[in-house]
Structure 1
Amino acid sequence: MYNTTSNVAALDRTASRMTCLGEEAGTVRTENRQGDILLLPSPSNDADDPLNWSKARKWWITCVVCAAVFCCNFTTAGPTIAIVQTAMDFEVMPAKAAYLFTSAALVQGLSMLWWAPMCAKWGRRPVYVFSFVLYTIFAFASGACKTWSQQLACRIIMAAASGAGEVLGPLTIADIWFLHERTLPISLYNVFLSVGVGLALFIDGWITAGSGWRTIYWVSGAIIGLVTIAVIFSFPETNYRRGPQPTVTLTQKRVLDHSKKQTYMQSLSVLPKQTWTHDSWTMLFLRPIALIAYPAVAWTALVFAVTIGAIVSVTSNVAIAFGQTYQFGPGLTGSCFIAAVIGSLLALLGGWATDKYSTRRTHDNGGIREPEMRLLPILPALITTPLSLVLYGVGIQHGLHWICPTIGLALINFSAVWATTNAMVYMIDCLKPLAEESVTSVLAYKAAFGFLLSFYTNPWIALMGYQNMFGTFAGISSFCLALVFIFMIWGKPIRKNALQWRLIQKLKWHADRDDIVIEDEDETPVRSLS
């Protein structure tokens, strides 16, 4: 006979062992008492759950994400190397031609404010497919424009379409990788975001020297087209809503349910299969703007602003600086950005070092992981960021050997990847249910800051000179990065108390955005360790 009392009691016991990970603000148990790694978020037994995909499939998706974000900067920043030639072709002053690039950078960032709500509501795949088809069309259109006005309109639409690739990257990575695996994929994302600038300036410089600036868009359109084909035919939906799941260890043998597994053709559907959240459209649009009030988001935005902003300020000026100081043309100036590519690749060590360090700290902490355990490895960027800006500014100001500012280019890109990787993973750990909005908030504010820098870098240099301008920027970046010590010391009470602030409570996520874990009875619940 069905025993109502006993079943209710069982449900009560289960409910008492449930933990909503979002409510813990990033404090989670990632090891059991035996030292086995717990998989977080806890995967379901559904074969279509992205967390259950094979490592090969996850890495392929990550590669597509990295290729997509590479394209975003390839077309936004790369053509700046040909600003003089573009101005001559359209018979405008270089200052007016610069609007083609500054406006595109701004629109690319602001476009994330509408792409993110769409991917939260309708899923990742529909947004990826639509935006990249649009991106491909207007990349080719930008090369065919006959007037400055046409070029401006095409680049603005192209930039708006490319913004989806930048904002969806970290979200997709968070969808498919477990907590203890995310840092390296995020590091790769940031590397390709940075390499998209350096490699684009190198390639576009020689394209401009040999074939003219329009060829940049033919090459870019072909690359974006290949990525679009990969997205259409191999990029499934990565959003997934799972109910309460029991804890699972890394070594635990599991049997997956393949009875409802999608066929390949079903996975290619572009139409949203469901509404992924019950959050209102109004909340989805407003949340990224207001979420800057959350301390982890605000600091991450500052890290992105000063490190990516350093790249923006240099790329806005490099053609003029190297041309006047070293008489370099587009080809030689672009070649100097090979150093930027090398610096970005070296920063991959940051993801590896952070994973190793945080895993060790977690083990020493009895299996409880705090987001602040990811912060110590960011410290090298406190040295390399101001150093890179000083090398560039002093080198150009005093006409030192071209290798001096070129080393600065390498260190600027190294610092940007190293710092942003650790800051972004920290922020996502603190606010996983609001990953879409927090990432959007950071990237949008970063874009706004970059837009201002791209406008005012050259007037700032004219006013203060290279040495003083980049020296001042070095001081600002050092201050923003040094705020990490506040989070290293008081990060836990800050993030937990911030969740109770009135504004943050108004921005609270719907329950369908959170991951719920059923804790083992013999484990100490995370909430009692807070």
Structure 2
Amino acid sequence: MDSSAKNLDGTVQLVSDQGVILIPTPSSDPRDPLNIPLWQKLVILGTTCTYSTMGLTAVSGLGGILGEFIPAYAAQGKSYADISNLMTFPSLFMGIGNMISMPLALAIGRRPVFLGSCVLLVVSLILCATNQGYEWHFAARCVLGLAAGQSEALCPLMISEVFFLHERARYQQFFSSFQTIISGTLIILTSYIASTIGWRAWYYLFAGFSGLVLILAIFFVPETKYVRPLAAYEGMGALKDLSESTVVRSDVESPKQVQQFMTVHDKRVLDTANFLPRTLASDMALFVNEADWSEALSCIKHQCQLFFFPDVFWVFSMNGIFLGVNIAMGLTYGNILGEAYHWASKYISVAMAGQIVVAFVCIPMLGYGSDFIVKFMARRKGGIHEPEHRLLTLIIPLLLGILFSIIYGQAAAFPEKYHWMAIVITLNGYFFTFIGANTAGITYLLDAYPTRGASCLVMICAMRGVISFALSYGTVSLYSHHGYDGAFGLFGGITAAFGALGIVVYFTGKRIRHFVSPWTQVENTTKASMG
């Protein structure tokens, strides 16, 4: 085998004169996750999305009812900063949860880790609902963060393993948007629930839905890990031996090359003679693959290596900063609307309703838009797909993010000069910036480093958790000393700086990928790990 076959830098042929090429190349095994019928893929998408929604909303949705805890916890000697930790620390633990669960998922499979996370989510929510004091509540929410963390890395990995490259962005965005729509609806109801039947009922509501997700996952979410040869990630899964003269990227018109890949128009025939059929029993099996602890160790090693890749560092830093700003707005909007704009407490969470609108806008703009752009650009470049084309969808979210952050700070600092809509629009608008960075960042790294997908997702989620924690943790002190206008003006400047770095990554990304390729080699080309 030529040593060059061990390198995969993300540049692949996506379009031929026969149509869009299926990457990864599906096998003829009925139990290959890529061969799952679309309806079942959508069930997997819906179940993982609902799980993610319950966890993330329980972590981030507390901002609307944070004031409910102030009298009781102040009586226990807790400051507002201590009470704010009920939101900031779970975000940190989400990152820690990713760093623990992803190597485990690579070693023993996605399904057992996902089911275990569902159980932990239910238990932690019940503990939150039954807490008898600040310390109990704080500890339970940290466990909640550990459970919810899988929604940011494991769930996107599972989704990427059942869909192809050319449809990756739309389904990742469906996952994100439907999560936002459901969580937005629940957040709107948060203030009403807390003001009528109490905040404990709010936690019980999430515990009940999470229990339902656990039941659905047991029956309808099969194992998505599947061992593929390296060639499958180049659209050449049927080939056993490749030479430099037969690389699919060189000539779209070559009849010899047309036979090397499978397109969306080709009929897929499953081999039921040499492979076992997919059944409900096979889908419900807890352990499908033999445990491979070397993959867990490799994942940890790869995470350490990826930390120093310039493009990966930019993606997770950008995501961390934008998430931190989003959390900072979530921490402050309740007090701003209540004290400066005189909103009644039961209406405050309604301000987040705009996230539902944002979610619907994101599907065509960031989901289908990204997939359209990569196919359009590939056709312009002789069928070749470059991962950097995923970053083009960032332009509008970044520009709006700069504007929204500055206006939010000004409206918070000078309420006599602004209408309350300035807070509501910018609060939801910056969420669009974060979602744009999240979708573009995930799809870019999955395309650029297909055999490091799991490690890339962990780096994004874990490091952005750490960075956003640091930023949001200092928010109270920052606006106390420099005012809302100073704090969020600074955040606007940081958003602009990361946008400028994005231009650099777009034009140098291919050279970066080539430079780091010695550290992304696959030793066994017949078993390309997603770690």
* TM-score, normalised via structure 2 length: 0.88
- 1:340–1:410 contact (8 Å) kept in structure 2: yes
* Other-structure match for 2:334: 319
Residues 181 and 254 of structure 1: is their aligned pair in 2 closer, same or farther, counting only changes over 3 Å? Answer: same
1:30 aligns with 2:14: yes
1:53 aligns with 2:36: yes
Please give the alpha-carbon distance, in whole angstroms, between the structure 2 residues aligned to 1:508 and 1:49: 21
Please give the alpha-carbon distance, in whole angstroms, between the structure 2 residues aligned to 1:448 and 1:104: 11
* Other-structure match for 2:234: none
1:486 aligns with 2:504: yes
Deviations 1:300-348 (A, max 9, x none): 1122112222211101112222121112233221001001221232122
Deviations 1:30-76 (A, max 9, x none): 223x2422111111011111111112111221122221221221111
Residues 276 and 61 of structure 1: is their aligned pair in 2 closer, same or farther, counting only changes over 3 Å? Answer: farther
- 2:191–2:348 contact (8 Å) kept in structure 1: yes
1:258 aligns with 2:241: no
Please give the alpha-carbon distance, in whole angstroms, between the structure 2 residues aligned to 1:225 and 1:137: 9
* Other-structure match for 1:385: 401
* Other-structure match for 1:467: 485
Give the counterpart letter for 1:396 in structure 2.
A
Aligned equivalent of 1:159, options 145, 153, 164: 145
* Other-structure match for 2:528: 514
Note the residue ranges of structure 1 that are not aligned, 5 or more in a row.
1-14, 517-530
Give the counterpart letter for 1:266 in structure 2.
S
Q: Equivalences for 1:291-306 in 2 at 5 Å?
A: 291-306=306-321
Residues 205 and 473 of structure 1: is their aligned pair in 2 closer, same or farther, counting only changes over 3 Å? Answer: same
* Other-structure match for 1:445: 463
**In structure 2, the residue corresponding to 1:262 is in which secondary structure?**
coil
Give the counterpart letter for 1:344 in structure 2.
A
- 1:46–1:257 contact (8 Å) kept in structure 2: yes
Residues 142 and 367 of structure 1: is their aligned pair in 2 closer, same or farther, counting only changes over 3 Å? Answer: same
Which stretch of structure 1 is more off in the superposition, 352-361 or 257-266? 257-266
Give the counterpart letter for 2:309 in structure 1.
Y
* Other-structure match for 1:337: 352
Give the counterpart letter for 1:105 in structure 2.
S
Give the counterpart letter for 1:23 in structure 2.
N
Which stretch of structure 1 is more off in the superposition, 413-422 or 121-130? 413-422
Give the counterpart letter for 1:130 in structure 2.
G
Shift of 1:513: 5.4
**In structure 1, the residue corresponding to 2:372 is in which secondary structure?**
helix
- 1:30–1:367 contact (8 Å) kept in structure 2: yes
Shift of 1:276: 5.2
Residues 440 and 512 of structure 1: is their aligned pair in 2 closer, same or farther, counting only changes over 3 Å? Answer: farther
Please give the alpha-carbon distance, in whole angstroms, between the structure 2 residues aligned to 1:197 and 1:297: 29
Note the residue ranges of structure 2 that are not aligned, 5 or more in a row.
232-236, 239-260
- 1:397–1:466 contact (8 Å) kept in structure 2: yes
1:420 aligns with 2:438: yes
Give the counterpart letter for 2:433 in structure 1.
S
**In structure 1, the residue corresponding to 2:15 is in which secondary structure?**
coil
Shift of 1:143: 0.3
Give the counterpart letter for 1:307 in structure 2.
F
Q: Equivalences for 1:69-468 in 2 at 5 Å?
A: 69-90=52-73, 91-92=75-76, 93=78, 94-192=80-178, 194=180, 198-243=184-229, 245-246=237-238, 247-259=261-273, 260-275=276-291, 278-279=294-295, 281-348=296-363, 349-399=365-415, 400-468=418-486
Please give the alpha-carbon distance, in whole angstroms, between the structure 1 residues aligned to 2:90 and 2:376: 43
Please give the alpha-carbon distance, in whole angstroms, between the structure 1 residues aligned to 2:63 and 2:514: 43
Give the counterpart letter for 1:316 in structure 2.
L
CA RMSD in angstroms comes to: 2.2
**In structure 1, the residue corresponding to 2:22 is in which secondary structure?**
coil
- 1:180–1:355 contact (8 Å) kept in structure 2: yes
Deviations 1:166-206 (A, max 9, x none): 21122012101111110111112333555576444322122
**In structure 1, the residue corresponding to 2:20 is in which secondary structure?**
coil
Please give the alpha-carbon distance, in whole angstroms, between the structure 2 residues aligned to 1:269 and 1:65: 18
Residues 303 and 198 of structure 1: is their aligned pair in 2 closer, same or farther, counting only changes over 3 Å? Answer: farther
* Other-structure match for 2:258: none
- 2:7–2:522 contact (8 Å) kept in structure 1: no
Please give the alpha-carbon distance, in whole angstroms, between the structure 1 residues aligned to 2:29 and 2:427: 47
- 2:14–2:375 contact (8 Å) kept in structure 1: no
Give the counterpart letter for 1:27 in structure 2.
T
Please give the alpha-carbon distance, in whole angstroms, between the structure 1 residues aligned to 2:128 and 2:160: 33
Please give the alpha-carbon distance, in whole angstroms, between the structure 2 residues aligned to 1:443 and 1:143: 27
Please give the alpha-carbon distance, in whole angstroms, between the structure 1 residues aligned to 2:362 and 2:269: 38
**In structure 1, the residue corresponding to 2:21 is in which secondary structure?**
coil
- 1:106–1:447 contact (8 Å) kept in structure 2: yes
- 2:14–2:385 contact (8 Å) kept in structure 1: yes
**In structure 1, the residue corresponding to 2:439 is in which secondary structure?**
helix
**In structure 2, the residue corresponding to 1:336 is in which secondary structure?**
helix
Deviations 1:126-182 (A, max 9, x none): 001111012112211210111222212222222212212321122012101111110
Residues 513 and 379 of structure 1: is their aligned pair in 2 closer, same or farther, counting only changes over 3 Å? Answer: farther
- 1:24–1:496 contact (8 Å) kept in structure 2: no
Which stretch of structure 1 is more off in the superposition, 107-116 or 198-207? 198-207
Residues 344 and 393 of structure 1: is their aligned pair in 2 closer, same or farther, counting only changes over 3 Å? Answer: farther
Please give the alpha-carbon distance, in whole angstroms, between the structure 2 residues aligned to 1:385 and 1:318: 17
Deviations 1:375-420 (A, max 9, x none): 2221111211111112211111111111111110121111111222
Give the counterpart letter for 1:248 in structure 2.
M
Please give the alpha-carbon distance, in whole angstroms, between the structure 2 residues aligned to 1:357 and 1:328: 43
Give the counterpart letter for 1:76 in structure 2.
V
Please give the alpha-carbon distance, in whole angstroms, between the structure 2 residues aligned to 1:298 and 1:196: 31
1:63 aligns with 2:46: yes
- 1:169–1:189 contact (8 Å) kept in structure 2: no
Please give the alpha-carbon distance, in whole angstroms, between the structure 2 residues aligned to 1:149 and 1:488: 46
**In structure 1, the residue corresponding to 2:497 is in which secondary structure?**
helix
Please give the alpha-carbon distance, in whole angstroms, between the structure 2 residues aligned to 1:197 and 1:390: 26
Please give the alpha-carbon distance, in whole angstroms, between the structure 2 residues aligned to 1:382 and 1:333: 27
Please give the alpha-carbon distance, in whole angstroms, between the structure 1 residues aligned to 2:498 and 2:179: 21
Give the counterpart letter for 2:140 in structure 1.
C
- 2:321–2:471 contact (8 Å) kept in structure 1: no
**In structure 2, the residue corresponding to 1:465 is in which secondary structure?**
helix
- 1:35–1:363 contact (8 Å) kept in structure 2: no
Give the counterpart letter for 2:428 in structure 1.
A
1:477 aligns with 2:491: no
